[in-house]
């Protein structure tokens, strides 16, 4: 891209905002792409627990989340005393349960012939 005039500079104090909106369904599709990569990493490094597999397996095994925290997370920061941690735990449970099926199906599809599980 340099011939077209693009210069990419790095500055350690730089801050950026990502304005691209992502739906839960789009994110679930992305997580289905992450699963085989994490599965491959888990196969190569069984001493490192698979982060997303562990989180999403736990989420899907929990009681069904209603999504109240997901609706409030946009207006209640995690640092708000008492309420913030509750809202964000609820939101994480809800979104984890929404993302888990796509991720776990892709994980299982990548699991052919292997026994590593988080």
Q: What's the domain range around 50?
A: 23-110
Residue 58 has a pLDDT of 97
Digits of tens for pLDDT over the chain (118 positions)?
788 898 888 899 998 887 888 899 999 999 999 999 999 999 999 999 999 999 999 999 999 999 999 999 999 999 999 999 999 999 999 999 999 999 999 999 997 645 555 5
Q: Has residue 31 been placed in a domain?
A: yes
- Using alpha carbons only, how large is the chain's radius of gyration in Å? 18
Sign of CA dihedral 40, 41, 46, 51: negative
**Residue 33 is encoded by which pair of tokens?**
């792409």
- pTM recorded for the entire structure: 0.78
Q: Has residue 103 been placed in a domain?
A: yes
Domain count, the chain: 1
Among 68, 114, 70, which Cα is nearest to 92's? 70
């Amino acid at each position: 891209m340099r011939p077209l005039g693009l210069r990419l500079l790095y500055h350690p104090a730089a801050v950026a905002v990502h304005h691209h909106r992502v739906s839960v369904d789009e994110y679930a599709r992305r997580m289905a792409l992450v699963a085989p990569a994490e599965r491959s990493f888990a196969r190569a490094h069984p001493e490192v627990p698979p982060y997303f597999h562990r989180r999403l397996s736990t989420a899907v095994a929990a009681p069904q989340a209603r999504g109240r925290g997901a609706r409030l997370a946009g207006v209640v920061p995690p640092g708000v005393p008492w309420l913030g941690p509750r809202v964000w735990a609820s939101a994480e449970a809800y979104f984890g349960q929404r993302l888990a099926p796509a991720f776990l199906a892709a994980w299982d599809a990548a699991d052919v012939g292997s026994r590593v599980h988080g």
